[in-house]
Structure 1
């Protein structure tokens, strides 16, 4: 790979890292070519992009971004690295990794690190937690539901009170007549 090719790839990676709010770095060493292709196909079906990239190129692309990705240098950017890019669903790559390992009874790919909205999660131990993350739209829906429930209770109380008040006024008017 020539210097110009590397520069083009680094620029492409910078764009991918900045356009995708979520990325995962995995270790797929020990998987055969067929297994990697199978994993890549499952990624494609889920709308996740999987690429095997040299650690030095990943490092250079991350250095140019806003945010501190230096903790990845000592742990995640060693050995064989594949990067999963996800634009919308932060937990899709984590689910893919876990499902692939379960279905094929493999120990790989292993999660080296993940970046979710520039928050770093380093290590395989975070995989289950990343799967349980709620998407932005799910969280917004929950907040809206929580905000609506007190308003509904107040409106319901006012409406039921309105009927009671009308009944009391009607009873009083009947007594006076």
Structure 2
């Protein structure tokens, strides 16, 4: 890779890291290729970007930006997972994968201008994703009108039940 390609890669990383909602740093040393490909497909399914980065280039990409506090974390083999849409998805996929694979290591992460440790990544992974929050909000919006329609329907339904019971009483008496 020549100097121009490296500079272009640094600029691309700087732009992508700057737009990311959260960044999770991992290491997959010791995992076989099929397992890493499985991990990549899980990240891709959630709309998460996952790349192995060269530490020196990653340090250059975060230098003189708000992400500068991440520079010390780029040691040893490092891969980053990030999403432009959802801060929780990278952490959730990484934490789930780490639970199933002992050799997969979460090094830490970056969220809202602060570094988070492994425990912070685990807490982030337990939060609902953007889609889960949307579903809850939609259920909340639908609940009010649904209950209102049930309430409007309850009086005529109960009145009909009373009439049917009276009809049955009169039918037995005859």
Q: Does 1:110 align with 2:109?
A: no
TM-score, normalising length: structure 1:
0.67
Q: Answer yes or no: is the 8 Å Cα contact 1:14–1:64 preserved in 2.
A: no
Q: Counterpart in 2 of 1:59?
A: 59
Aligned-pair distance for 1:19? 1.6
Q: Counterpart in 1 of 2:159?
A: none
* Count of equivalent residues: 136
Unaligned runs of 5+ in 2: 141-174
What is the rounded CA distance, in whole Å, between the counterparts of 1:83 and 1:93 in structure 2?
A: 9
Q: Answer yes or no: is the 8 Å Cα contact 2:6–2:57 preserved in 1.
A: yes
Q: Please give the secondary structure, in 1, of the residue aligned with 2:85.
A: coil
Unaligned runs of 5+ in 1: 146-177
Q: Answer yes or no: is the 8 Å Cα contact 1:21–1:118 preserved in 2.
A: no
Considering only aligned residues, what root-mean-square deviation do their CA atoms show, in Å? 2.4
The 3 A distance-change label for structure 1 pair 110 and 47 is same
Aligned-pair distance for 1:128? 2.0
What is the rounded CA distance, in whole Å, between the counterparts of 1:136 and 1:118 in structure 2?
A: 20
TM-score, normalising length: structure 2:
0.68
The 3 A distance-change label for structure 1 pair 59 and 12 is same
Aligned-pair distance for 1:29? 1.2
What is the rounded CA distance, in whole Å, between the counterparts of 2:56 and 2:79 in structure 1?
A: 13
Q: Counterpart in 1 of 2:151?
A: none
Q: Counterpart in 2 of 1:13?
A: 13
Q: Answer yes or no: is the 8 Å Cα contact 2:43–2:93 preserved in 1.
A: yes
1:80 pairs, out of 74, 77, 89, with 77
Aligned-pair distance for 1:21? 2.3
